């Protein structure tokens, strides 16, 4: 059975939408949808696993603790090592931002 990453995207989201697509043998793949959503102020992701993320659609800015922000456009990807504190500080408000995230050990 196949699916399409750009279909069945919820509209009018109160907060970012996280959808686990598959999880097996220490690897989790998820789709994330943002419509102007950001990480709450003064909060940081501090994950126990590495995360590789690609921006499939839209634009976003990732902030890293004590580092320069990284602006991402469609097609851009980044690898975030475990326990590297980061947050989403901006996504486009007038269109969807679709991420594909791969969490791995």
* Average pLDDT value over all residues in the chain: 96
Q: Look up the CATH number of the domain holding residue 27.
A: 2.60.120.10
Q: How long a stretch of residues is the chain?
A: 105
Determine the average pLDDT of the residues in 39-64: 96
27 within a domain of the structure (yes/no): yes
6 within a domain of the structure (yes/no): no
67 within a domain of the structure (yes/no): yes
Determine the average pLDDT of the residues in 27-45: 96
* Confidence band for 12, pLDDT divided at 50, 70 and 90: confident
95 within a domain of the structure (yes/no): yes
Per the structure, how many domains does the chain have? 1
pTM for this one? Answer: 0.92
For 70, the domain range is 17-104
5 within a domain of the structure (yes/no): no
65 within a domain of the structure (yes/no): yes
Determine the average pLDDT of the residues in 52-81: 97
Classify the phi-psi angles of 58: left when phi > 0, otherwise alpha if psi is within -120 to 50, otherwise beta: left
**Confidence (pLDDT) at 1:** 84
Structure tokens at 43: 């909060």
**Confidence (pLDDT) at 50:** 98
């Amino acid at each position: 059975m196949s699916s399409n990453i750009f279909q069945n995207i919820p509209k009018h989201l109160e907060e970012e939408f996280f959808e686990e697509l598959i999880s097996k043998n220490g690897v989790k793949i998820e789709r994330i949808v943002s419509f102007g959503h950001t990480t709450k102020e003064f909060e940081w992701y501090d994950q126990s696993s590495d995360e590789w993320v690609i921006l499939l659609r839209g634009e976003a800015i990732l902030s890293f603790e004590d580092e320069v922000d990284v602006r991402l456009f469609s097609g851009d990807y980044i690898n975030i090592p475990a326990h590297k504190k980061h947050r989403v500080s901006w996504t486009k408000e007038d269109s969807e931002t679709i991420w594909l995230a791969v969490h791995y050990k």
